[in-house]
Amino acid sequence: MEIRSVEEEQQSPAVTANVGLPNAALHQVNDGVVEIEIEQDDSGTCGYGPLPIFLKFEDVEYKINGSSRNPVKAAITSVASRLRMEQGNCKHILKGITGNVGPGQILALMGPSGSGKTTLLKLLGGRLDGDIRGKVTYNDTPYGPSLKRRIGFVAQDDVLFPHLTVEETLVFAAFLRLPTEMSRKEKHLRAERIIKELSLERCRHTRVGGVLVKGISGGERKRTSIGYEILVDPSLLFLDEPTSGLDSTSASKLLVILRNLAKAGRTVITTIHQPSSRIFYMFDKLLLISEGQTIYHGNARESMHYFSSLGFVPEIAMNPSEFLLDIATGHVKDISIPETLQGSTDLQEIEVKVIKFLQCKYKTDLEPREKEENYHSVKAPMKLQLSIQIKKDRTSNWVEQFIILSKRTFRERSRDYLDKLRFSQTVGVAVLLGLLWWKSNIGTEAQLRDQVVNKTQTVRLLLLA
């Protein structure tokens, strides 16, 4: 896909797609070329809508040094590893990953557990530091602080307040995170729009809940977490396994929501574990990782064709993601493999051979094309490169934030303390202890000591009973 600025080249567009952006539109012209037109934003909410962001990454590597940040621990670990004659306790997690994704697209990161999906997601989302190598650019500019507010990150374990309702969660978030230029009414309307967009109307007054508190369902919880992030209209949305724990219908509903978010001009990147076929075909791009290395990157629909061209064909009917995960782990039961890999009966040996073969094939067949596409044909227009460096609108100052946070904490805590069950438990225990001490003989110090011993034993017995 090539990107040209409308200002740079005046061609009449063959197809124009309204991407739903307040200030941008994509024009499809000949040969798959996409032009981006950005109109001047006079709405007063300058820089607020999602800005088209083209994310490119090349030869991304990530290593974890086993040594601790604590200098004492680090010294001990280093001495211990030297004593054990270890070459170093460095863990190479990502080993040179290349790819790209643009606005309107969903990139799925797939691979077996421990292959490095979450690590790559965090790295691309600017949430990782340490030994990072390679190049990651956003509209051909490196990561900068101005990007923070254009990125939404939905982690696998969401951190929502269990005693707040869905509506309260979103309204408090709107007051905290939306620009000061927006009025209270506008912030309320924004939260309302998100509730409608994510079909959360039915549970808007239900508590979010948690381990001990009953609350909304898993799917509603995921949607609330997504709502929390898209409140500020991020241009780049990262999601770590948004469908895990959901049934296939709820998962595909969630994917439809992500599709709509992408259609509105956002760039969506998500890790996913074995999606159903229906979900798999909703992805535009796929990055399949095996042991920290790519074995496929490109159009999700073409992935099966690519592997069959290499000689990997399912022998029985299989869900595409099941097949892809099988070959990413080198597990080729019910899958025919190329002749060069046949001949061994040792399953472990076959697994190692398959993974190595696929990694090499990607390096020789697909990666050169990816790199060519990344840095020779794709160039983000200057306007986009500059826009990404402009900070989004200012949010509330620390005094306002303090007030909003205090209100939120008060609402949350008061619900917890005034919980009917908890309240009756507290009253019950207080009455019981009161009765225990009622009319006790505590005239002298010795009598008081005796009573304390007696009462403690009684309480222990009660607890055991």
Determine which residue in the list 118, 146, 244, 451 makes contact with Mg ion, applying CB under 5 A: 118
Q: Judging by beta carbons within 10 Å of its beta carbon (0-12, 13-18, 19+), is residue 292 exposed, middle or buried?
A: buried
Q: 353-357, long-range: CB within 8 Å, 24+ apart, which pairs?
A: 354/327, 354/330, 355/290, 355/291, 355/295, 355/328, 355/329, 355/330, 357/310
The verdict on 118 binding ligand ATP (CB under 6 A) reads yes
Q: Which is nearer to ligand ATP, 94 or 257 (CB)?
A: 94
Establish if 313 lies at the interface with ligand ATP (CB under 6 A): no
Q: Which does 113 bind (CB under 5 to 8 A by kind): Mg ion, ligand ATP, none?
A: ligand ATP
Name the residue nearer to ligand ATP (CB basis): 41 or 61. 61
Out of Mg ion, ligand ATP, none, which partner does residue 64 contact, by CB within 5 to 8 A per kind?
A: ligand ATP
- SS3 state at 165: strand
- Partner from ligand ATP, Mg ion, none contacting 295, C-beta within 5 to 8 A by type: none
Q: Say whether 109 sits in a helix, a strand or coil.
A: strand
Q: Which of residues 35-64 bind ligand ATP (CB under 6 A)?
A: 64
Q: Which residues pair with 106 in a beta bridge?
A: 268
Q: Measuring CA to CA, which residue among 334, 295, 328, 331 is closest to residue 313?
A: 334
Give the total of residues touching ligand ATP (CB under 6 A). Answer: 11
Q: How far is the CB of 244 from ligand ATP (least distance, A)?
A: 9
Question: Does 5 contact Mg ion by CB under 5 A?
Answer: no
Structure tokens at 19: 């991407």
Minimum distance, C-beta of residue 112 to ligand ATP, in the bound complex (Å): 7
Q: How far is the CB of 224 from ligand ATP (least distance, A)?
A: 21
Given the rule CB under 5 A, which of 22-30, 78-86, 112-120, 261-269 is the region that contacts Mg ion?
A: 112-120
Q: By rule CB under 6 A, what string of x and - marks binding of each residue 61-100 to ligand ATP?
A: ---x--------------------------x-x-------
- The reply to whether 116 sits near ligand ATP by the rule CB under 6 A is yes
Q: Which is nearer to ligand ATP, 133 or 391 (CB)?
A: 133
> Whole-angstrom Cα distance, residue 81 to residue 189?
58
Phi, psi of 268 (to 5 degrees): -115, 130
Distance CA 133, CA 123 (A): 11
For position 115 contacting ligand ATP by CB under 6 A, the verdict is: yes
Task: Give the integer Cα–Cα distance in Å for 286 and 302.
Answer: 9
Residue 227 contacts which entry, ligand ATP, Mg ion, none (Cβ below 5-8 A, type-dependent): none
Contact 238, 269 (CB under 8 A): yes
Which of these, 96, 13, 17, 21, lies nearest to 53 by C-alpha position?
21
100 backbone dihedrals φ, ψ, rounded to 5°: -160, 155
Q: Does 117 bind ligand ATP (CB under 6 A)?
A: yes
Both tokens assigned to 80: 């211990």
Q: Are 112 and 32 in contact (CB under 8 A)?
A: no
- The window from 117-125, 138-146, 186-194, 379-387 that contacts Mg ion (CB under 5 A) reads 117-125
Q: Smallest gap, in angstroms, from Cβ of residue 226 to Mg ion?
A: 17
Tell me the two tokens of residue 417: 């303390």
Question: Least separation, in Å, of the C-beta of 113 and Mg ion?
Answer: 7
The one-letter code for the residue type at 198 is L
Nearest distance from residue 78's CB to ligand ATP, in Å? 16
Q: How far apart are the first and last CA of the chain?
A: 72
Chain contacts with ligand ATP (rule: CB under 6 A) = 64, 91, 93, 111, 113-119
